[in-house]
Amino acid sequence: MLKKLGIRTLINDLDDFLLSAQKEKWKPQELIEQLAVQELREREHRSLQWRMRDSTINNFVPMTDFDWRWPKKIDRKTIERLLTADFADRKENVIFVAAHGLGKTMIAKNLIHRTVLKGHTALFVEAAEMLVDLASQDSARALDRRLKHYAKPSVLCIDEVGYLPCDQRAADLFFQIVSRRYEKKSIIITTNLAFSDWNTVFPGATSVVSLVDRLIHHSEITAIEGDSYRRKQAEEQKASRAKKRKTTK
């Protein structure tokens, strides 16, 4: 009966629960309260697991490992404020503009993680992957289903906008996603290009101006400047290997 009611908490631990009830001499109301508390706690745990899985952020580097001293320019105060995930409650957008290797994707994934912990649904996807997915749909009905998929989560993170040029159709599909979410749900964008250069990403697309206009309205735009941290790590590793080879000789 518990299984049919969807009360999974006690299916395997019913005997222990009843022993606790006898030992503590719970009154009927107390027993029901304990049952409700345990079931709600378990449901919240399962919901968090499902939302974290559906976010597709997978493994990521936590902000505690971020080297704030490396970028030449970064607004730490703004980023730490964004990490409270309040922007999702207000349905605002967040845009990170930075060159390769400065941590914008890492920060975006941490934002997604925080919004999920706060109870929101979220989805992380690379821009090229999303646009290929949408363009590959073979019917209007199938396309509408995929558009709804990207419009559904409370927070949608579109990573690496601007790394590959897109055609007119891709621009129109991108515009549809932004329009469906406009002033309803949050978007996080990471890009290596200033908005004035987005016409190079969507050459000839008539929707670029409207697309940018909707993104920057109700938006927190944060620029990060400096040299690639990944390149720095690669050079340090190369120097370390060379030192080890010299020591071995």
Check whether residue 13 and residue 127 sit in a common domain.
Answer: no
Tokens 């309803």 label which residue?
A: 184
Whether residues 69 and 50 share a domain: the answer is no
Domain shared by 50 and 85, yes or no: no
Q: Are 226 and 72 in contact (CB under 8 A)?
A: yes
> The domain spanning residue 185 has which CATH number?
3.40.50.300
Residue 247 maps to a domain: no
Residues 211 and 164 in one domain: yes
Residue for token digits 């304990």? Answer: 34
Domain assignment of residue 221, given as a range: 63-231
| pLDDT attached to residue 243 | 65
Q: Quick check: is 249 in a domain?
A: no
Does residue 214 share a domain with residue 108? yes
Residue 238 lies in a domain: no
CB atoms under 10 Å from CB of 65, counted, come to: 8
Q: Look at residues 38, 55, 72 and tell me which one is the last residue of a structural domain.
A: 55
Which residues does residue 223 pair with via DSSP β-bridges, in sequence order? Answer: 97
88 occurs within a structural domain: yes
In a domain, 80, yes or no: yes
Judge if 40 and 148 occupy the same domain.
no
Residue 44 shares a structural domain with residue 93: no
Residue 11 to residue 2: CA distance in whole angstroms: 7
Contact present, 108 and 96 (Cβ < 8 Å): yes
- In degrees and rounded to multiples of 5, residue 114 shows phi and psi of -65, -40
Residues 23 and 114 reside in one and the same domain: no
In a domain, 172, yes or no: yes
String of DSSP letters for 139-206:
SHHHHHHHHHHHHSSSEEEEEEETSS---HHHHHHHHHHHHHHTTTSEEEEEESS-GGGGGGTSTT-T
Distance from C-alpha of 245 to C-alpha of 198, rounded to nearest angstrom: 46
Task: Looking at the structure, tell me whether residues 80 and 202 fall in a common domain.
Answer: yes
Q: What is the pLDDT of residue 11?
A: 82
The low-confidence residues of the chain, meaning pLDDT below 50, are none
Residues 82 and 162 in one domain: yes
- Domain co-membership, 207 together with 126: yes
Q: Are residues 78 and 119 in the same domain?
A: yes
Residue 17 resides in a domain: yes
Write down the pLDDT at residue 164: 80
Q: Indicate the number of domains in the chain.
A: 2
Is residue 246 in some structural domain? Answer: no
Which of these three, 17, 33, 55, is where a domain ends? 55
